[in-house]
Every structure is written in C-alpha cells, then in structure tokens.
C-alpha cells in the first residue's frame, strides 16, 4: 500500500463531497442543484444535464432548455418528483425554476443535509484509512516491512486522515455559511 494511493483516494473523496455540497441549494440559483435529478428517458434513468441545457439568467431563476422538445414534459415531471421542493414552469419551449428565498426552517434543514453529506465523506475517508492500515499490518505480518516501518506508515496514514477530514469540515463550514447567508 502506497501513501500516494491513500492520499489520492482521500482527495477523490473530498472532491466527491464537494460535488454533493454543490447539489444542496442555497438562496441563489445554482445549476448544480439539478445534478442529482434523473429523468426516465425511454425507460432509462438519465441525468437531466445530458438531456437539456441548464443556465441561470439571474440570481433567482434556473432555465432548462431541452435538446429535444418531446422531453419537456418528462423533465418537468422528474423535477416535480425530485426532493428539490421547486415547482417547474413550462412555457412550451423552456422550463423555468424560480428559486424562492429560503425560510429559516428550510435553511436549518439544508444545514442538516449538508452535515449528513459531510459525515458520509468522513466515513469514506475513515474506510480508506482502515483499508490502508489493514494492508500495512498484512505487510508487517508477512515480513515485507519491519515493525517500526509499519508504525511509521500507520502514523502517516493517520496524519493524512486528519488532514482530509479537516478539509471536509472546512467545506462544511463554508457551505453552512453559504446556506445561512440571507
């Protein structure tokens, strides 16, 4: 087990957590909140962003322009069925989503959702740490590395774990501040 591999996996976990945070809405229009919306396109679950162009003409509107006009109604239905809590307005050519200002209760709910996503990221990092330490112990048992080397490697893995968990906590703080900003 190489430390560079462990660090690479942890970095990817932080990036995945950041993408998850992007899909949590704040008070402003952000096309990334639609990243998790899947549309039933001819019996296949397809990401919305591969069926339509998504833009934010102003800070409180998201505009969705389907590449194929026939998908307008199924896109509208998918958005309505999603957990976004937004009502799509279909004018026959584009769908507009008006982003209402968040209530304080909704803000608290979104902070909880963000905290849950952060915890999932931390659990993933801890799982990477566990796998790395197990691999180090196997190497030590088989005689590939000495006891001192194993201890040093385990310490290094723990330092990486602490570093990446603190990165996730920092991202969470930023997201919470973003959500709570009126």
CA dist 6 and 1 (Å) reads 8
CA dist 44 and 109 (Å) reads 31
In the CATH hierarchy, which top-level class contains the domain 3-21+103-180? mainly alpha
Q: Is the pTM of this model over 0.75?
A: no
CA dist 16 and 23 (Å) reads 11
CA dist 77 and 88 (Å) reads 9
Q: What CATH number is given for 28-98 in this structure?
A: 3.30.1360.40
- Domain ranges for the chain: 3-21+103-180, 28-98
CA dist 39 and 51 (Å) reads 8
Write out the chain's pLDDT in tens, 182 residues.
688 899 999 999 999 998 888 777 676 777 888 888 888 888 888 888 888 998 888 878 889 999 988 888 898 888 888 877 778 888 888 999 888 777 888 888 888 989 999 999 999 999 999 999 999 999 989 988 888 999 999 999 999 999 999 999 999 999 888 888 76
CA dist 119 and 121 (Å) reads 5
């Amino acid at each position: 087990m190489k430390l560079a591999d462990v660090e690479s996996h942890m970095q990817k976990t932080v990036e995945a957590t950041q993408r998850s945070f992007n899909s949590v809405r704040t008070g402003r229009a952000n096309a990334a909140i639609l990243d998790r919306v899947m549309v039933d396109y001819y019996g296949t679950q397809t990401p919305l962003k591969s069926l339509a162009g998504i833009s934010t003409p102003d800070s409180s509107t998201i505009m969705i322009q389907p590449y194929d006009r026939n998908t307008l109604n199924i896109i509208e239905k998918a958005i309505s069925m999603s957990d976004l809590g937004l009502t799509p307005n279909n004018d026959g050519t584009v769908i507009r989503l008006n982003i209402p200002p968040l209530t304080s209760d909704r803000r608290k709910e979104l902070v909880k959702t963000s905290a849950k996503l952060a915890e999932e990221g931390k659990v993933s990092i801890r799982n990477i740490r566990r796998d790395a330490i197990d691999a180090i112990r196997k190497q030590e048992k088989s005689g590939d590395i000495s006891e001192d080397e194993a201890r040093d490697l385990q310490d290094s893995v723990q330092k990486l774990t602490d570093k990446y968990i603190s990165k996730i906590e920092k991202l969470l703080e930023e997201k919470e501040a973003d959500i709570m900003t009126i």
